[in-house]
Amino acid sequence: MLADLAALVGVESPSADPAALARCAEVVADLGERLTGLAPQRVGPHLLWRYSARTEVLVLGHYDTVWPLGTLARWPFSVTEGVATGPGCFDMKAGLVQAFHALSTLDSLDGVAVLVTADEEIGSPGSRPLIEDTARGARAAFVLEASADGGALKTARKGTSIYHLEVQGLAAHAGLEPERGVNATIELAHQVLALSAIARPELGTTVTPSVASAGTTVNTVPAAARVSVDVRTSSLAEQRRVDEEIRSLCPVLPGALLRLDGGPNRPPLERSSSAALFELAQQVSATPLTEVAVGGASDGNFTAGVGVPTLDGLGAVGGGAHAEGEHVVVDRMPERAELLAALIRRVLT
């Protein structure tokens, strides 16, 4: 398993680099074929293994990472005192290694499908339909994203929505006749406050205006402004409420216009979708398990969104996702592979 992890981390795979993704896809494809005896179907940059005509269990992961080309040169894969490190090792290349090694221990893969995507880190814009179509009708989806602290499984994830709000004002000379203008920056300020007021922290709902820009020169009344908005919700009802309220925003300044793009990206993975599978995991695990709800989303949100029971965080035990020094506890890799294999056996019996 460690040799396979070294090989996979050794091929960089930033989401936005098609050539790098293609090189990494070959390594993932070879890994899956060597351990399970079947070559994947290529669906664009994504890899799909179907071991029978029907899909009862979907094993889900991704091979793209957030790290740009060249990271490996200054931060190569290494193992020190039982801890492996390197770009993408924790999120989530170790999870892929564990998945295929788990499958290699099963007597039969009838009813199993494995989908490894190439764009999860940028919101899965191309793979979402494939994920949903592959998952639909399955009895379980097991997501090999990295675990939470201490190896906790992720039984709930917030849904995500992303919006881009543009303000159109009217330019004018800031010194000679500012009254002739419609100040897009001021309008944007009104809208940012209105957006922030939509949040309901007591329900876990966050509405975060983030990247913003306005104006062109210091002596011109700004004619345009823009803000991006990140929304996280714990329930589908909250996601819908926030969407409705954002779409109902109106300009405050006379003459200002608003234009809104975006919307819900991933539905929430609510605990009701994972509860039965977490209970099953507790039954088959050789060690005690814990669970946690997290704010980050994954492709497991999509499988839960089409009604498939979903258990997430079955991948590596370690830490530091998306951060310099992300790492994997090597001794936990076989244990997690055994847990996945045991879950698949129980679901299929």
Instruction: Dump pLDDT digits (tens) for 31-47.
Output: 999 999 999 999 999 99
**Nearest in space to 15 (alpha carbons), one of 76, 69, 61, 59:** 69
How high is the pLDDT of residue 186? 98
Q: Cα dist. 182→106, 130, 213, 329 in Å?
A: 67, 45, 16, 57
Write the pLDDT tens digit of every residue in 237-293.
999 999 999 999 999 999 999 999 999 999 999 999 999 999 999 999 999 999 999
How high is the pLDDT of residue 229? 98
Write the pLDDT tens digit of every residue in 182-227.
999 999 999 999 999 999 999 999 999 999 999 999 999 999 999 9
How high is the pLDDT of residue 154? 98
Cβ atoms of 33 and 116 closer than 8 Å: no
Read off the amino acid at residue 228: S
> E strands along 13-56, which residues?
41-43, 46-50
- Token pair belonging to 200: 């309901």
Confidence of residue 173 (pLDDT cuts 50, 70, 90): very high
- Token pair belonging to 16: 């936005």
Q: Which of 64, 238, 270, 299 is catalytic?
A: 64
- Token pair belonging to 140: 């379980």
**Nearest in space to 167 (alpha carbons), one of 260, 264, 262:** 260
Cβ atoms of 97 and 336 closer than 8 Å: no
User: Under the phi-then-psi rule, with left for phi > 0, alpha for psi from -120 to 50, and beta for the rest, what region is 129?
Assistant: alpha
The pTM (predicted TM-score) of the whole model is 0.91
Q: Which of 119, 120, 299, 326 is catalytic?
A: 120
User: Under the phi-then-psi rule, with left for phi > 0, alpha for psi from -120 to 50, and beta for the rest, what region is 78?
Assistant: beta
Cβ atoms of 170 and 190 closer than 8 Å: no
> How high does pLDDT run on average in the chain?
97
Read off the amino acid at residue 68: P
- Specify whether 91 is catalytic: no
- Specify whether 187 is catalytic: no
Distance (Å, whole) CA 152 – CA 339: 13
How high is the pLDDT of residue 62? 98
Domains and CATH numbers, the chain: 2-157+268-348 (3.40.630.10), 159-266 (3.30.70.360)
**Nearest in space to 274 (alpha carbons), one of 304, 306, 305, 236:** 304
Compute and round to an integer the Cα radius of gyration of the chain: 23
How high is the pLDDT of residue 244? 98
